[in-house]
Structure formats: structure tokens, C-alpha cells
Structure 1
Amino acid sequence: MGIRSVLSKPLAKWVVERQQAWMYQPIEAQQRWFQRLIETGRNTVFGRDHALKDVRTIDEFRQAVPVRDYEDLKPYIEQILNGGTDVLWKGKPLYFAKTSGTTSGTKYIPITQESIPNHINSARDALLNYVNETGESDFLDQKLIFLSGSPELTQKAGINIGRLSGIVNHHVPAYLRTNQLPSYETNMIDDWETKLERIIDETLPQPMSLISGIPPWVQMYFDRIQERTGKLIKDVFPEFSLFVYGGVNFEPYRAKLYESIGKRIDSIETYPASEGFIAFQDSQTEEGLLLLLNSGIFYEFIPADEFFTENPQRLTIGDVELGKNYAVVINNNAGLWGYSLGDTVKFVSREPYRLLVTGRIKHFISAFGEHVIGEEVEKALKDAMHKHPETEVVEFTVAPMVSPKEGLPYHEWLVEFATPPNNVAAFAHDVDTRLTELNVYYDDLITGSILQPLRLTSLPRGAFQRYMKSQGKLGGQNKVPRLSNDRKIAESLLETEKTV
């Protein structure tokens, strides 16, 4: 047993004991953070604009600060990028995490000196909760691989800008750096296929014990290893015992991943976002992820079915009910105020508060971590139709093809044309090109050869009407979702057409 393994157990015990102090006093923990945030926020541009100096209670805060998305926050972000200080939070952010936006394109999410521990310590504590519960710590003495984005940072107004995974890479504790893979030089490679081959070169000879990453990226890593070695992962890495993941729904990948490994291993699910590390799986036996209530974030929850109404309820942690979907709103020490994450969650426990991530408040595709939303696909289609003016579209929907019979995964666009484009292949290419311009994650996946360009399936006239009729939803206010994160609608559409 190595030094990391030995020292991790008392550290894990200490972390869990401190954690339990707020786990079982959640309302008090949240109230303390509310007060801290308001005290700092009063002295900012945002605070003056919203009269936070007059706010003493949560009800007063709700009156002063509306729920907002990035578009509403963007003018303050631009002030910071133009050199402003004390805008959303005191001073300037340490970083901007660059992420995919909606109408605004790329989003720049602030990370401050005060908020960076939320991202770093939460990832650490997820592992230490596992050590404390299971007693397993030997994996810390072997090699650990984190499949992440490039740690390369650019700079604007004196602020470092990069992807969240790259930013976090700069804060990996020194005691883990010596057994972290891939190397910094390999992590800097932009092209995913080139980077993947280099990662395999570096890891094949090593005793890998922990692998962390988004499931489809990890699956590609496994597939390439098997192509090289002809062996199951358990035979390539006998010490491999823990898989850490987050970012997408694991279920579509679970069976294939375990088949590639050749045995079942423990796993830890995490819920990180550029805006904050929200929750992690603290137990191998209990359902759900522990909501982090003492980590610089004051949470509000809006019942999902009220989110788009004029005056939705904004609930605090003590008001939520089990089994009900809520949209997550955060206020944090990075200067996000009344900020809607766009995610929906469902609580499965109140003692302590554990949740499941149930989706997005709007339809989306994130089967591969791309976070493509309806507005992006509609704009991409509209712009392609402008280039192909003969084209008339009746209806369309988009679904992921996670496991095609051959080749890379892709997005399948099922489109019913009134008048098809003269060149369908050129039309599909123009849609795909525009989508890469609108969504940086999708662009990363295409240029990194994680996904192949979209495939367009042209459906016969009346296909969507026949589908809606088969579902008992023809007419009225019923609409076909533009996006799905699975293939239920796509397969039903195709199956309906087989019977015509």
C-alpha cells in the first residue's frame, strides 16, 4: 500500500465528517451562503443595478433579481471583457470557462478566486467519499487517466479563457500529478484522433486504475485499445477498478462499456457544469447524487411545468418535493445571479438531499456532450434553406445514432420535404457546417472525429402526420419535438412508414 492510499483514508474520513455537518442542516447551510453572497454582491455593478443593498430576505431577493439566462447576463460579461472590475463579483474573474451558447454563440462563464474551490474540491471529494465508504484506496497509487479537453488557455482583459476541463487540469493537486495521464503535452493536442493515439501510446504500458471522462469518449478509447491489442480492457489494465463520468446520460453506453471492459467495476457519477459543480455520487448503495449545499452556491428550484409561465414559483431547498421535476437556478460566488442552468432535476432523497439529472428544460441533444438545442438546429436549417431557395420543409426532427452498424456515431435528421433541395447532399453539408458554427461542442466533436457529419433521411409526404396519428396526437396543440436525446421518436417514425 502506497503513501497516497494510506493518507487518503484519514483525509476521506475528515472530509465526510465535515460534509455531514451541512448535509443534515441543509436549510441553515443555504441561508449562510445566501447572506455571504448578498454581502459581497452589494458592492458590484450588478448589485447597484438591482439594489442589493436593500435586500435582507430571500423574498426581497426574488423581487430584486429576476431569473435570467446568458443573454440577460451578457452585457455584464462584456463589461468584464472590456476591462471592467467589480461587475458581477468583486475584482475580476480568474477565468472564463468557454462553453456553447444559444443565440449568443460562445458563452463565457466566470470562475473566480472564491468559486474555483467548488470545481476542484468537489471533484476531490467525490473520490474521497468513495474511499471512505468502500475502504478502497489502492487505485490512488496507480495511474489515473482523465480524458479531457485541451488545457490551453487564451487571454483577454487579463483573464484566462479556456474549456472547463482544461482549466481544472491546471489545478490537479500536486500529489496526483505524478501519476496523472495523459501528459500535458498530449493533452494539448487539438485533433482528437491524433490525441487518442498518443494517449494510448502513453497508457498501454501503465498500470491504469482509474479512468475518467465522458462515456462516448471513453468508449472510443476502449475500442482503439482493443483494435491494437485484441484484448478486453480488464486484461490490458488488470488494476482498472473505478470509472468516473459525467456530462451525458450514461445509460446508452453502460452495456457497451462493460462489455468492452469484460467485467463490472465501480463507478462514480458527477454533475459538473461551467457554472458550478452541482452534485456527485457520494454512495455506491444509495440512489442519486448528493447536492452540494455548502460550496458557494445558493440554489433555487422552479417546478418544470411552471418554468415558462409568467410568475413561476422560486423554491429554496426546504420547499422541494421528492419525485418532481425542477429547473435549477443558481446564485454563486462567481457572480451568477438568478441564473438558470437549463437543467432539470428530480429529488430522490431529502435526508440528505440527493437528486437525479432528468434532462433539459428545453428539448436538446447531448448524447455525446454537444448540448445542441432547438434554436441552433432551426437556425442551421433556415440558413441552409436560404442557400437552397427551392427547398420547402414540412417537418423535421433530429436524433442521435449512438451505435451505428459501421462508422462513427452521428446525428440523424429525419426531414419531410414539400419540395426537396436540388442537391440533398449539398443541403445536408450546409446544415452541418452551419451547426458547427453555432455550437462549439458539436464543432469539437466533428473536427475531433468523435462524430461524423449529420445524415439526412428524407421521409415521404405525410410521414409526420401518420406518426402523430399513430400516437394519438394528431392536431390540436401537439407538436413533434425538434430534438430528442434518444431514438424513440425517430424509430417510431421509421416504423410507422414501414406499415404504409
Structure 2
Amino acid sequence: MEVVNSFMTWIFKSRIGQIQNFMKYPIESQNQIFDELITTAKKTEFGKKYKFGTIQSYQDFAEKVPVHDYEQMKPYIEKTMKGTQNVIWPTDIEWFSKSSGTTGSRSKYIPVSQESLEECHFKGGKDMLSLYVNNYPESKLFTGKGLTIGGSLAKNPLNDESDIQVGDISAVITHNLPLWVQFARTPSLEIALMSEWESKIEKTALEVMDENVTSISGVPTWTIVLLQRIMELKGASNILEVWPNLEVFFHGAVAFGPYRNLFRELIPSAKMRYVETYNASEGFFGIQDQRESDELLLMLDYGIFYEFIPLEEWEKEKPKVISLSEVEIGKNYAILISTNGGLWRYKIGDTVKFTNTNPYRFKISGRTKHFINAFGEEVIVENAEKAVQSASESTDALITNFTAAPVYFGDSKSKGAHEWIIEFKKMPSDREKFSQILDSTLREINSDYDAKRYKDLALTAPKIHFVEVGVFEKWLRGKGKLGGQNKVPRLSNTREYLEEVLKLI
């Protein structure tokens, strides 16, 4: 295995020169991507509508093509899902990544072309390994297997007779990986793509606990659940007793900070490494490329053209949009992307703050709306408001305000939850019923929340504090923000606001 490790390390390091090239020439790299996207898509339905054939510059593109959110892209996406090709991208799109959190739909479906699969998602995975072995030349990563924890696939909901499949982006990627990668990963493809999470966790644990696992890739939430189960099955006090050669966890999707102490408990080794990635249904955007920094390198040759909206412009009817060359260090920007999967000037909903522009490095700063995404559940304000409204109507209650935040894993045996403070002008007739309906409504309208709540695997039932009118007013007054445009934050990914209000109960 040492020979294999040396050979694979050499192979992956060969990409470093190309990465250094776009780091050195970022704007030129983006200009090349822009030209390729416009030229390739000019004869699509979308390209003809917006006259891609006449676009000669970025300025032309910005003037001719409007900014799109999911609801505006949805007609083109659904037309493709129903069977019409060459709508947003010229090559056939046979895969759609399913994600939740949109304003008008329980789930959104992001097109994944063969180009975006290979030139973006696969390339991102390869570069993650390339940068890792370049930073840690002593690594023994390839002497064992990589554990990947992903989602599942399903039939096309708009045309179940078509060959198009939908699923979590992790499942789409896993299903299409080349054979040599399948050999190097665990668990088996059959288990990796299971849809029933309780059985999936159990079968994964049983299959992987006797493998020589050297790396883990996944979302912290499900990784914790799986590691806890493996330790139970093996009677181990920590995971290094099961996998002594484990050396790195490649993580993404949710902020890792709240989980760091728990992972140190599960994996008690100062040599354990944690590498952040920024990959989503829409594309693979960033990788932590330095040993001593948690900044992410913006990946500029993945078939994605980037634009940015300064956060203070976000709510404007015609916000100012800038190119990569215009961003400033320390400012918050909402991201727009045009991709080789057929998304055009698309709002992905994330915000970033650049920490460097030579090369372009950044940190994820949040979402364009308040949200809770501590466990990959992507609960947005609209979800919360619908759930509270449904619960109130069913229990004859009248609410005046609310806020919610995550309850993070406290130790290796605990589970996450959401904690709510809800202020009532009229208390619900049945508090237990109110809690149940709030929870069930969230599960109904948000598929990611539903997955995390399934059989309490990752999230337990919400904890709700029922309070009388006046608590939030007192909190706002104490912060000098009573009246005017000041509002109680509905949702937060940290417990800062919730803890402050709890002190007043």
C-alpha cells in the first residue's frame, strides 16, 4: 500500500501547477470561463432569448441578462425535467440535484450537466485531495479507504418515465464516480445510496467499522451519528480505537465551529486534521488550501463565472452587481453564478467575505436571509413563519413574536435540536399539540429538516418556551433598539440572541 500511496500522491500533486496558475491569473481565468459559457450556450433556448450570440463583453452580459433567483429559473428547469433539452445548456441534462430552502418550493432542483459533474464537482473532489497531499506530504491517505456519507437518488418527479434522476448532490456524485474511486471508498454503492436513513446508518456502521478508514468526507451532523453508532458496536471509547490510521475529516455544508469540541472528543488526537470545503448543489466553490488558516480558496476554473452583490444592495429593486475584479476585502457579498450546468446570473443565497484578493480567499459569512443550518436542515424564515402560523391556528393561539436557534451537540452521546422562544398574546389551548404541529409542519415543507428529524436520528423534537407578551420588548429596550425598523431576529445559526432573551424569562 505504500507504493500505491506514493503513486496516488504524485498523481494528485500534478494538479497543483494548474491551481497556482488561476491563483496567479484570476481575472484572466474568469474571462476564459465567461467566453466558454457564452459561446457554448448561445444556441440554447435561454441563449437565444437573451441574445448570447451578440454578447461581446461582460458589460453586454450584465445589460442583457437579468439576475435570476430559483423561482425565475424554475420554468426553464421544469421544462428540462419534463424532457425538453437544449433549454439552458446544450448537452443533455440527465441529473438534478435536490435541495430545500427555497421561498416557493419544498424542494428545488438544480441541473447537473455532464460538464458540471466532471469539470466542477469531480474536479473539486480531486483538488481537495491535491491540496491536502501538497500540504501534508507525509500523508498516508491512500493506504486506506475514504468514508463518504451521502444522500440518495429518486425518480424524476415531473416525468417518471424519463431517464432523468434526482437526488442529493452527494448521491449524484457518488453514483457517477469512476470505478477506481469506487474501489478506494466505503461503504458499498448500494448502502451509500440508500434512502432510509436509520437502516443506512446501521448498515454503513456494520460495513465500515472493520475497514482501514484513513479519511472521512461529509456533513458533521450525519458523521457524528455514524461515529457514535460505530463506537457503540465496537465498544470503543473513541473512534481512533476503531480506525487508528484516520487522519483527516473533509467537511462542509454547515459551520464546523460548534462541532469542533465534540469531534475532539470523538477523535482525541492532535494529529487529526480538518479541512473545510464549500460545495453545494449548484457547484463546488472553495477549498481550504492552507495548513494554518481556515480561509477558503475560490476555485476559478470549474466552469463557474462569479459575480457579486454588495449586501447593502441586496434588497434594492436593481442592486449593484460587480465582477470578481471589483470585490473588496472585508465586505459582505451575495454570490451570483453562471455555470456549465445551465444556471445564469443565479442567486445561490450565500454570502461571503473576502479575506484576500491575491489570491482570492474568503470565508462564508452567512445567508441572504436569517436561517438555521446548524445540521444541514436549511430552515429559512418563511419555513418558520408557516410552521408557527399553522400551529397557532390549530390551537387557537395568538403570537406576537418569536426567535429560534440551534441546540448543538453537547457531548458524544447527545443530539441536536431547535430551541424556540415564542411570545403569545393568547396562549395555545394545547401546548403539546402546538409543539407537534410546528414540528410536523416544518417537516412537511422542508425536506432537509424532515431528513434530520427522521426517527430523531440527528435532530430531536423542538424545545419551545411559551412566554407572555413583553419579553421581546424588554430585550429590544435593553439593547436600545425599541421601535423604528428594529426587529427581533426570527432565526439565527448561533445562540447569541436566544441566550440573551432566555435571561429575561
**Same fold flag (TM > 0.5):** yes
* Residue 217 of structure 2 corresponds to residue 215 of structure 1: no
1: distance between equivalents of 2:381 and 2:431? Answer: 22
Change (3 A) 1:188 1:287: closer
1:490 to 2:490 alignment: no
Q: Note closer, same or farther for the CA distance 1:349–1:439 as it changes in structure 2 (3 Å cut).
A: same
Q: 1:8 touches 1:128 (CA, 8 Å); kept in 2?
A: no
SS at 1:47's partner residue? helix
Partner of 1:464: 472
Q: In the alignment, is the contact (CA less than 8 A) between 1:414 and 1:459 conserved in 2? A: yes
Q: 1:404 to 1:387 in 2, by over 3 A?
A: farther
1:384 aligns to what?
391
After superposition, the C-alpha distances for 1:12-46 in whole angstroms (9 at most, x for unaligned) are 23200122122110101111111111112221111
Distance 1:138 1:152 in 2: 36
Whether 2:126 is the aligned partner of 1:124: answer yes
Letter aligned with residue 30 of structure 1: Q
Q: Kindly provide the amino acid, as one letter, of the partner of residue 78 in structure 1.
A: E
Does 154-163 or 257-266 show the bigger shift? 154-163
* Deviation digits for residues 129-180 of structure 1 (CA, Å, limit 9, x no counterpart): 1112221342212122111112556573431211111011113332232232
- Tell me what 1:108 maps to: 109
CA distance in 2, matches of 1:429, 1:438: 14
* Cα distance in 2 between the residues matched to 1:423 and 1:3: 66
The alpha carbon displacement at 1:308 in A equals 1.2
Q: CA deviation at 1:472?
A: 1.5
Residue 443 of structure 1: CA displacement? 0.8
Following superposition of structure 1 onto structure 2, how do residues 17-416 of structure 1 map, counting pairs within 5 Å?
17-100=17-100, 101-117=102-118, 118-151=120-153, 154=156, 156=159, 157-228=162-233, 229-264=235-270, 265-388=272-395, 390-403=396-409, 408-416=415-423
Contact residue 366 and residue 485 of structure 1 kept, 8 A: yes
SS at match of 1:115: helix
Report if aligned partners of 2:310, 2:320 keep a CA contact under 8 Å in 1.
Answer: yes
Tell whether the 8 Å contact from 2:33 to 2:301 is kept in structure 1 after alignment: yes
Query: Which residue does 2:448 correspond to in 1?
Result: 441
CA-CA distance at 1:402 after TM superposition: 1.2
Question: 1:162 and 1:200 mapped to 2: Cα distance?
Answer: 22
The answer to whether the Cα contact below 8 Å between 1:97 and 1:167 also exists between their aligned partners in 2 is: yes
Other-structure match for 1:480:
488
Match of 1:419 among 426, 435, 448: 426
Deviation at 1:234, TM superposition (A): 1.9
Query: Could you tell me whether the CA contact under 8 Å between 2:295 and 2:362 is conserved in 1?
Result: yes
Comparing 86-95 with 379-388, which one deviates more in the overlay?
Answer: 379-388
In structure 1, C-alpha distance between the alignment counterparts of 2:205 and 2:308, rounded to whole Å: 43
Q: Which runs of 5+ in 1 are unaligned?
A: none
**Alpha-carbon distance in structure 1 between the residues aligned to 2:108 and 2:317:** 26
Q: Distance in 2 between matches of 1:356 and 1:97?
A: 24
1:97–1:28 distance in 2 versus 1, CA, 3 Å:
same
> Is the partner of 1:135 in helix, strand or coil?
coil
Q: Deviations over 1:80-129 (max 9, x none)?
A: 12221211111431311111132122111001111112001111111111
RMSD: 1.8
Q: 1:176 to 1:89 in 2, by over 3 A?
A: closer
- Distance in 2, matches of 1:85 and 1:69, equals 21
Q: CA deviation at 1:211?
A: 1.3
Shift of residue 77 of structure 1?
1.2
Is the Cα contact below 8 Å between 1:130 and 1:136 reproduced in 2? no
- DSSP-derived class of the 1:170 partner: helix
Greater shift after overlay, 239-248 or 309-318?
A: 309-318
Percent identical residues? 38
**SS state of the match for residue 358, structure 1?**
strand
1:53-99 superposed Cα distances (whole Å, 9 cap, x missing partner):
22211112111112111001111112112221211111431311111
SS at 2:114 equivalent = coil
Alpha-carbon separation, structure 2, partners of 1:232 and 1:404 = 16
Q: Judging changes above 3 Å, is the alpha-carbon distance between structure 1 residues 73 and 469 closer, same or farther for their aligned structure 2 residues?
A: same
**Counterpart contact for 1:93–1:112, Cα < 8 Å:** yes
Letter in 2 for 1:149: G
Instruction: Provide the secondary structure at the position in 1 that maps to 2:348.
Output: strand
Task: Tell me if the contact between 1:145 and 1:212 (Cα under 8 Å) persists in the aligned partners.
Answer: yes
- 8 A Cα contact 2:332 2:351, kept in partner: yes
Aligned residues of 2:288 and 2:296 also touching (Cα < 8 A): yes
Single out whichever of 81-90 and 340-349 deviates more from structure 2. Answer: 81-90
Say if 1:191 and 1:447, in contact at 8 Å, map to a contact too. Answer: no
- How big is the shift at 1:224? 2.5
Q: CA–CA distance in 2 between the matches of 1:201 and 1:383?
A: 41
In 2, the alpha carbon distance for the partners of 1:9 and 1:143 equals 14
* Conserved 8 A contact 2:262-2:410: no
Asked if the contact 1:412/1:454 (under 8 Å) is kept, the reply is: yes
Change (3 A) 1:108 1:13: same
More divergent stretch after superposition (200-209 vs 183-192): 183-192
> Would you say the 8 A contact 2:206–2:230 is kept in 1?
no
Q: Give the letter aligned to residue 152 of structure 2.
A: S
| Secondary structure of residue in 1 paired with 2:241 | helix
Structure 2 runs not aligned, ≥5 long: none
| Deviations 1:382-405, CA, capped at 9 Å, x for gaps | 2333333x2100101111111368
Write the distance in 1 (CA, Å) between the matches of 2:183 and 2:423. 55
Q: Is the 8 A contact 1:96 1:109 kept in 2?
A: yes
2-structure distance, mates of 1:420, 1:49: 54
Letter in 2 for 1:224: R
